[in-house]
Amino acid sequence: MAGTVAKGILVGGNLSDLLVRQKEGERFEVGELLIAEEDGHKALLQVFDLEFGSQLSQQHLELVGGLSLDGQATAFFDKGLRNYTVAHLKALIAMRTTDKGPLLTKAKGLPPFFSAIRELRVDDFSFLQKPQSPLFLGKLRSGSQEIDMPIHINGKDALSHHILIAATTGRGKSNLLKCLLWELVGESYCGMLVLDPHDEYYRSTLSQHPSRERVHQYSLNPEPGGQTLRFNLSLLRPQHFFGAIDWSDAQRQALTQFYREYDNEWVRAIVTERQLRASFNDGTLAVVRRRMMQVLGIDVTDGTIESDGLFVADGGTTTVTDICNQLERGEIVIIDTSSFDGATEILVGSVIASDLLRRYKRHKLQGTLADKPVISIILEEAPRVLGKEVLEQGPNVFSTIAREGRKFKIGLCAITQLPSLIPRDILANMNTKIILGLEMKAERQSMIESASQDLSTDDRAIASLDKGEAIVTSTFVPFALPIRIPFFDDFRKPRTVKSAFGGVKLG
């Protein structure tokens, strides 16, 4: 990508649809980044569509095609001038040099008519610097070509203002998360809570990190060096169950009433069939008891609570405190939920997330929040707790964090194949979106409509993303960034740091 020869020339169009005639022998790709340059002013352009152009009429072209099919020789005078490719480009940003240094602005004007259009070079962005709290996403991509330009965004801002990762199965979501977590192990500005439903982020991944002492795994059957996951029933609160199970209004009221009357003993009171002073239908209380015992994995024999090991009547009183303390030190906590059903996994996450939010609200009230690291919660299959149907039942701690967590330095890293199931107001709060490829048009449209940049012409580019390719749209980048995410097994190998170029600061 080091050449300076023009690939095409600007021949018409408007700011959102520039027409560029391709030079003979050159080739354009959808998503390719190009530069128009004149007198120290540069415009960064991107191809969003391609079409054939010809000086011949369509009828003549069809005639020539028919002759060729019949085996009759056909030849054109000045073939490269008569038949060519026309690329449709959009202007992304304008770059120019001022007395105060380089200036990067939104593109608000047209390049000169007949401007030469060339391919991107690394030095086009060499004046940009790596941020202080870097979060590495991948390398810049132009079409299908990777450019040796590492892309970082400000991790503190991006993580606290929520990240949404959207992709269909097999597009590299797990690979991306492994790379992000591997990079963040050595950073103290952020603590990461990982709900791991497939047991893929510790055993063969972060347990092998050089700084693995900053990684903590909790599991019912922990690996050597891991910790046992166990919660005391007294730690539970009614709101922990609201996102995990669909309750009727009467059942929600019963949960709240048990807590009011029995305080920390409220769960024990439900499963041992203690009486309430308030009047509730016996059928309602029976359903509450049965569903509570099912999600907690407990049974009652002669008034004694028996547990499968996760939620217990004795022990497990410090688990939540220990996890929150580790996160407040900027470390990574992985919760192995591979043996849980969906409701139990959400319940575990709700217990921890609720305590984190309570702590950080207190830190803000006391004026100590600025000294605390950002905390991000990785949540797979996000519509389970952020979906429209779920939120119609009422809010939960995850929707609360999505709406106001940024004020307390707590963010979500939500992962989904179906972003259209998430309400628009929640999507709007996800200020960084990493799109790895969505095959269904409805899902692409939901991402386009909620993006921080104008992606109205990128439907085709999103649909054609290959595995490991992504588009990053964020309030912390000046334009939607096409990137290539490294393969994790290559990424975790020791790397040689190049001092000549520090990456791209986009925050």
3-state SS assignment for residue 331: coil
Please provide the average confidence, as pLDDT, over all residues in the chain: 88
DSSP strands (E only) in 290-331: 298-301, 304-307, 311-312
Q: State residue 478's pLDDT score.
A: 85
Token pair 């991790």 in the structure block, residue: 155
Least confident of 72-76, 84-88, 388-392, 422-426: 72-76
Q: State residue 267's pLDDT score.
A: 95
Q: Rank 100-104, 351-355, 438-442, 502-506 by mean pLDDT and report only the highest.
A: 351-355
- Does pLDDT of 500 surpass 50? no
Separation of alpha carbons 457 and 436, rounded Å: 17
Q: State residue 127's pLDDT score.
A: 61
Least confident of 69-78, 118-127, 238-247: 69-78
- Does pLDDT of 277 surpass 70? yes
Split at pLDDT 50, 70, 90, the class of 39 is confident
- Give the pairing type, strands 134-142 and 481-484: antiparallel
Split at pLDDT 50, 70, 90, the class of 72 is low
Using alpha carbons only, give the angle 386, 391, 396 rounded to the nearest 5 degrees: 75
Tell me the mean pLDDT in the region 437-454: 93
DSSP strands (E only) in 284-371: 298-301, 304-307, 311-312, 332-336
Output the furthest CA–CA distance in the chain (Å, rounded).
Answer: 97
Tell me the mean pLDDT in the region 398-417: 96
Q: Which residues contact 220 (CB under 8 A, 6 or more apart)?
A: 228, 229, 309, 310, 336, 339
pLDDT: which is higher, 213 or 96: 213
What are the φ/ψ torsions at residue 341 (nearest 5 degrees)?
A: -80, 175
Q: State residue 505's pLDDT score.
A: 46
DSSP H stretches of helix in 141-234: 155-160, 173-185
Separation of alpha carbons 342 and 194, rounded Å: 15
Cα-only R_g, the chain? 28
Cα dihedral: 92, 97, 103, 106 (round 10): -30
Q: State residue 346's pLDDT score.
A: 94
Burial degree of 25 (CB within 10 A; 0-12, 13-18, 19+): exposed
Separation of alpha carbons 147 and 503, rounded Å: 11
Tell me the mean pLDDT in the region 163-187: 93
- Does pLDDT of 507 surpass 60? no
Q: State residue 190's pLDDT score.
A: 96
- Does pLDDT of 79 surpass 70? no
Q: State residue 101's pLDDT score.
A: 65
Tell me the mean pLDDT in the region 167-184: 93
Split at pLDDT 50, 70, 90, the class of 2 is very low
**Which of 128, 129, 152 lies closest to 140, judged by CA?**
152
- What are the beta bridge partners of residue 95? 42, 104
Split at pLDDT 50, 70, 90, the class of 180 is very high
Q: State residue 131's pLDDT score.
A: 82
Q: State residue 1's pLDDT score.
A: 41
- Does pLDDT of 78 surpass 60? no
What are the φ/ψ torsions at residue 390 (nearest 5 degrees)?
A: -65, -45
**Which of 291, 295, 254 lies closest to 274, judged by CA?**
254
Separation of alpha carbons 215 and 204, rounded Å: 13
CB 505 within 8 Å of CB 152 = yes
- Does pLDDT of 315 surpass 60? yes
Q: State residue 307's pLDDT score.
A: 86
Least confident of 11-20, 21-30, 55-64, 425-434: 55-64
Tell me the mean pLDDT in the region 231-258: 93
Q: Could you give the C-alpha distances from 112 to 10, 14, 37, in angstroms and in order?
A: 8, 12, 9
- What are the beta bridge partners of residue 232? 312
Q: State residue 121's pLDDT score.
A: 83
Domains and CATH numbers, the chain: 6-125 (no CATH), 134-230+317-505 (3.40.50.300), 234-311 (no CATH)
Tell me the mean pLDDT in the region 407-422: 96
